[in-house]
Amino acid sequence: MAPKESPLIIRDKNQMRKWSRTMRSQGNIIALVPTMGYLHQGHLSLINEAHKHANLVAVSIYVNPGQFSPNEDLSTYPSDFQGDIQKLLSVPGGVDVVFNPINLYDYGEIDSGGEGVVVVEGDQVVSCIEKSGLGHETWVRVEKLEKGLCGMSRPVFFRGVATIVTKLFNIVEPDVAVFGKKDYQQWRVIQRMVRDLDFSIKVIGSEITRENDGLAMSSRNVHLSPEEREKALSINKSLSRAKSAAKDGQVQCEKLKNLVIQCITEAGGIIDYAEIVDQHSLEKKEFIKGPVVFCVAAWFGKVRLIDNMEINL
């Protein structure tokens, strides 16, 4: 297939909305792939998936400050916009438009500059948006699904994700949106949000893309030292062992969790969580009696990695 022309780059949200409405009025189906940039093969696989469901593909590149708390890695999150565009040119079928807004929380209003604080169950939870005093105070919450797993150590994260995805959906107005299953909880949160708020958007979950050695692709992998990266392979290896053990009849979740925790800890990782949960409700399970997903988050050095593996007995 001949390489596609460079995508149209749009930074203004009104222009983005106008483009989408014009394209849809001509009978086109639009797929959106939301990203925070620093694209890798995992992102490109989402675009390949998007082409299966639409004839026009939009990719958003926006590092969302609303999902970072002040002590997280917003300031060091990697970016390479020109490199991203070059990678998009390599995708079969290409990308039609890249939405790269400067700030989706700047409304052109005079703000008092005060720090906003959102109180959640008695605890103050402050995001980078609130610390910056930009006046944004409307948040989307998916109350049950956001609480466990990553929500335990990142209380700001999922309301930030749900809010920015809602904004992107309202601006781009896609027919289809594609998310990676590596961020399993995020995918399920967005699915539930779309269902509950009656968005007319089909949410697709795309399988995890891994390096040749099994490490799940992530923009944060660049921060791993060679030694840390080698140790991080323990995540996928231990998940694979747990899945094999489950297929061989070990359905007691505590024993499977201990297997994974021990493997990662012995490799030098620090466990954030290791949980076996229902694939849809994300509720913890004691025994595997139906489709579950084994979700893990672990620190290697200063890098927090997440991975998961579905188990369908």
Contact (CB, 8 A) for 61 and 19: no
Per DSSP, which regions of 167-284 are E strands? 176-180, 202-206, 270-278
Tell whether the torsion through CA atoms of 34, 38, 42 and 48 is positive or negative: positive
Q: Can 280 be counted among the known catalytic residues?
A: no
Catalytic residue among 43, 51, 223, 280: 43
Question: How many other C-beta atoms can be found within 10 angstroms of the C-beta atom of residue 157?
Answer: 21
Contacts of 76 (CB under 8 A, 6+ apart): 223
Instruction: Give backbone dihedrals phi and psi of 157, rounded to 5 degrees, phi first.
Output: -60, -55
Using CB atoms within 10 A of its CB, is residue 147 exposed (0-12), middle (13-18) or buried (19+)? middle
CA 242 – CA 239 distance, rounded (Å): 5
Q: Which residues are catalytic?
A: 43
